[in-house]
Amino acid sequence: MKTVYVILAFHAHEPSWDLPQKILESLDDIDLRLTLESENWLVKRSAEGRDIYMELVSFARRMGIPVTLETSNELLVQLAKITPDTLKELQKAYQGGVIYPLYGHAHHTHVALLTEEEIEDEIRLNMEYLHDVMGVPRPKHAGLFPTEDSIDSSKLSALERAGIDFVIFPNLHRSKDRYQVEGPLNLPYEPFLVGSRLIALPRHFPVSQYIWRPITKWKHAGVKNQGYLLGHYWVLPEEYRQKSFVHFPITRKEAIAEYRQVLRRALKEAPDRGLILYIQDLELMDFGDVALEVMEAAWKATLKDNLPRVSFVTPDQYLTERVIPNQSKLPRLRFNQVSWAPEIRLVLRYDGHYPPLGAGRFRGIDLTREVFRRWPFIFWEPGRYLAKLCNWFTDFCGFSLKLPLTAQELGQYHFDKMSPTARIALHSRIIKRACNWGWFPNEGLQKRPFLHAYCLADIVLAQLDSVST
């Protein structure tokens, strides 16, 4: 009987919800103070008795398996303040081997907006918070989940300098990606090399992304709040292709059965000692608890089937057993840029209608091939204008983009207690958050980078004035 390795990995981030109000309160501009409303999703969920981070730990313990987690510094700092007991449980889970640490960008910043120096700095800060603040044991192999699973081949050297050994690589699809493979490679079940020495573990697209399909049809009333109006316009790829709506609503039982079929198919297709890597947002746009419920029931049912032996592992275990002994024989992949966009549901943004992967031609255009293949980072391109302007201004005036603080010194992000140099760098960094510009940029999120740009310019000008006088 063949063996299939399975890694269940999760990404967790929340922007510092209270930070804009803290900054606005320190400004003299009365009109500017009225530009942003105060909201805090962590406080809201806590008041509702919902804690997806505790649920992840419980999920892993009930399943008797390890899970892999990447968390931003901004989220961890807020948990320490809002739900300290949750952070303590996460610490215990890390220290007990229930959770395996995966590194990410400290402030959920996107590679399209960052210099190599900033990428190294973001990884450094994330490592420091996990190990120096939380006391998380260091993994044998340092892995990175880059924000939005977006990777730029021209900046891989920054990851290597930061001490990264492997990256979670987004799904590859000829319709959306340009790439070449040197040697035989069974995607998405086998690792490969990128850069000079980085090991890439490929994301399994159906297992990772199709969790949304049953949730969208089961919790159709809830996903309406995110703009997924089933029965009103096409949402899923087959609706675009067939020009008809899918059947909905479905029951919990049907939702679990649908995802179970995804798992069965993946296990059947996987080669002996192949890898199925699930990587998805833990919060899942406020449906993380539903996703864990579906996953747990579907996996437990699947494990009872007469299928391959399933070995739930950490990246360390998989790399040690399967990859490192054969690292010199791994095929090499060459690419330019790649991200996990587009996915299986449409995206309605201020700059257009983006059909999902597999939708085919819509209104005469195949956006996957004609847009994403040319501009893999299209969702984050608008942020480059403000980021580059602030970079130029900062550099011209002689300030560094690197934060002169440790993760512990950043603390609760009290800007008023930081040096002007640190404040300039931090304002610049937060402008480059992926969530400011990404999938569904709302008015509040889009205002945040401009608030930080205003503050950055104000501090730089004040420093220049002090020098000139």
Asked if residue 29 has pLDDT above 70, the reply is: no
pLDDT at 26: 76
pLDDT at position 409 is: 96
Contacts of residue 282, defined as CB under 8 A and 6 or more positions apart, other chains included, come to 10, 11, 12, 52, 53, 56, 69, 288
Q: Mean pLDDT throughout 365-384?
A: 95
Taking the C-alpha atoms of residue 459 and residue 456, their distance in angstroms, rounded to an integer, is 5
Q: How confident is the model at residue 351 (pLDDT cuts 50, 70, 90)?
A: confident
User: Model confidence at 350, in pLDDT bands (50, 70, 90)?
Assistant: confident
CATH topology of domain 3-364: 7-stranded beta/alpha barrel (3.20.110)
Mean pLDDT of the chain: 94
Q: Which of 15-24, 91-100, 336-345, 451-460 has the lowest mean pLDDT?
A: 15-24
pLDDT at 33 over 90: no
Distance CA 413, CA 415 (A): 6
pLDDT tens for 181-211 read 999 999 999 999 999 999 999 999 999 999 9
Please give the pLDDT value at position 203. 98
76-96 average pLDDT score: 97
Instruction: Tokens 């400004």: give the residue.
Output: 27
pLDDT digits (tens, 9 = 90+) for 251-284: 999 999 999 999 999 999 999 999 999 999 999 9
Instruction: Give me the mean pLDDT over the 312-327 stretch.
Output: 96
Residue 231 pLDDT greater than 80, yes or no: yes
Show the tokens assigned to 270: 């996987």
Q: Is the pLDDT of residue 162 over 60?
A: yes
* Residue 458 scores a pLDDT above 80: yes
Q: Quick one: pLDDT at residue 429?
A: 98
The tokens for 123 are: 């990884």
Q: Is the pLDDT of residue 145 over 70?
A: yes
What span, in angstroms and rounded, lies between the C-alpha atoms of 184 and 8? 25
Position 386 scores a pLDDT of 96
- Please report the pLDDT score of residue 338 as a whole number: 97
**What residue segments make up the domains of the chain, in order of their start?**
3-364, 384-463
27 or 415, greater pLDDT: 415
Which residues are 310's β-sheet partners? Answer: 4
Q: Can you give the pTM of this predicted structure?
A: 0.96
Question: What are the structure tokens assigned to 53, written together?
Answer: 């981070």
pLDDT at 30 over 60: no
pLDDT, position 244: 97
Strands 143-144 and 166-169: parallel
Contact 199, 327 (CB under 8 A): yes
pLDDT winner (highest mean) among 38-42, 186-190, 464-468: 186-190
pLDDT for position 37: 66
Residue 165's φ and ψ, nearest 5 degrees, are -100, -35
In one-letter notation, the amino acid at residue 187 is L
